[in-house]
Amino acid sequence: MQDSPRPKANSRFILLLFAGMILGGIFGSVAARPFAFIDLLGDLFLGALKMLILPLIASSMIVGVSSLGDVRKLGRLGGFTLLYYLSTTVTAVILGLILVNVIKPGASAGMETAVAMEVADYSFLDVIRGIIPSKFFGAIISEGQVLPLIFFSLFLGSVITMVGEKGRPVLSFFEGLFHVSMKMTHLVVATAPIGVFALVATQMGQAGGWTGFYPVLKSLGLYSATVMAGLLLHGGVTLPIALMIFGRRSPLRFARDMIEPLVLSFSTASSSATLPVTMEALDKKAGVDPKVGNFVLPLGATINMDGTALYEAIAAVFIAQSFGIDLSLPAMITIVLTATLAAIGAAGIPQAGLVTMVMVLHSVGLPAEGVGMILAVDWFLDRCRTTVNVWGDAVGGAVVERAVNRRLSRS
C-alpha cells in the first residue's frame, strides 16, 4: 500500500462538516418548512462552488495536458481512464440489474404513486452534440455546461505543445490561474460546514421534514432500499476492491482523505459543484499526482457516474415491474447499454439522471411518464448516488495514477 508523506486530514474540520450535515437534517425536520435566510446561505455556498468550475477546469486541464508534452502520453492516460470509467460503470449496472431482479421491488408496487409528468425526449446523439454545441461559449458560460469546456481545454492544451515557445505565455497564464483557483477553492471550502448545514436543512424543510418525507419513503420503500443496497455494495465493496488491487491503497485511509468531497457531494447532489473540492482533496490529502487527477476528475465528474448508472438500471426495471411488464434477457442487455450511456450523458447536476433515464425507458418500450412514479424519493436517492459518483471518480484517480506510472516506469 502506498504510504506517501502527506498532510493529515483535519479531523476537527471533518467533525464540523458532519455536524453541519446532521444538524441541518434535524433542523429541517423540526422546522418542516424552508427558511429564506438559510436557503440564501445554501445558495451562496453552492454559487461559490460553481463559480470555481470554469477557471479550475480550464486551467487544470490545459496545464495538465500541455505538461504531458507528448500526445502518446495523453493517449495512454486517456485510454486507462476510459477503461476504468467503462468497466466500473458497467459493473454497477449489472449489480443493479441483479439486485432489482432478485428483490423485485416493483412486483407489489401500486400504480397510485404515478405522477403525470412532462418529459422531454433525449437521445445519445444529444450527448455527442453537447460536446461541441453550436453556441459554444454561451453553453459554457451561461448554461454552465462542462463537456464543451473539457473539449476546449483539451484542445487548447494539446495545441500549446504544438506551438512551442510562442505558446509559452498562454501556458504561464493558465499555470497562474490554476494556483489562484486552488487557493479560492480552499477559501470557499472553509465555509463548508455552514453551507452544508444550510443545503441539507433547506432540502429537508422542502420535503416537509421527516414526517412529510417518511410516508413517501415508505411507499417507495423497497425500491429505495434496492437502490441504497446497490450503492452500498458498489461504493463499499466493488470500488474499494478495485482501489486495493489496482490502486494499491488502503480504502479506509483513502475514504478518510476524501471525506470532504463525499460530504459535499451528498449535500449538493452535484458532482460538478463538488469537483473543485474533489480535486483539492485528491491532490493535497490523498497525494495523487495532480497531472492524473486533474485529467481524471473533471472528465469523471461529467461522464463517469457509477451511482447514476446503477440507479437508472434499477429504476427502469422497477417501473417495468410496476406496470406488470416482464423484461426479456435481450431487454436487460439493452438496459446495460442504455443505462451506461444515460449515465455518461447525465450532467453532474442535481437530478440530471432522471432526465436521461427517458432514453433507457424508450429503449425497452416503457412509457417515459414512468419517471413520475419515482419522483417523490428522487431528491434523496440523487444525493446518495452522487456520493457514489464522486467516490468512483476519486478511486479512478488513484487507480489510473498507478496504471500510468507503472507503465511509464516499465517503458
Footprint of ligand ASP on this chain (CB under 6 A)?
A: 269-271, 305, 308, 346, 348-353, 382, 385-386, 389
Nearest distance from C-beta of residue 241 to ligand ASP, angstroms: 22
Q: Please, are residues 260 and 281 in contact by the beta-carbon 8 Å criterion?
A: yes
Angle at CA of residue 242, ends 236 and 244, nearest 5°: 90
Q: Please, are residues 341 and 127 in contact by the beta-carbon 8 Å criterion?
A: yes
For ligand ASP, the closer CB: 269 or 313: 269
Q: Please, are residues 223 and 376 in contact by the beta-carbon 8 Å criterion?
A: no
Question: Which stretch of DSSP H or E encloses residue 306?
Answer: helix 306-322
Nearest distance from C-beta of residue 323 to ligand ASP, angstroms: 23
At a CB cut-off of 8 Å and minimum separation 6, what does 160 contact? Answer: 62, 66, 167, 170, 171
For ligand ASP, the closer CB: 57 or 305: 305
Q: Look at residue 362 and give its three-state secondary structure.
A: helix
| C-alpha span between 393 and 276 (Å, rounded) | 13
For ligand ASP, the closer CB: 68 or 313: 313
Nearest distance from C-beta of residue 124 to ligand ASP, angstroms: 17
Nearest distance from C-beta of residue 343 to ligand ASP, angstroms: 7
For ligand ASP, the closer CB: 267 or 271: 271
Nearest distance from C-beta of residue 301 to ligand ASP, angstroms: 7
At a CB cut-off of 8 Å and minimum separation 6, what does 135 contact? Answer: none
Nearest distance from C-beta of residue 262 to ligand ASP, angstroms: 12
| C-alpha span between 89 and 393 (Å, rounded) | 11
Shortest Cβ contact with ligand ASP: which residue?
353
Q: Please, are residues 283 and 298 in contact by the beta-carbon 8 Å criterion?
A: no
For ligand ASP, the closer CB: 63 or 335: 335
| C-alpha span between 4 and 188 (Å, rounded) | 27
For ligand ASP, the closer CB: 123 or 351: 351
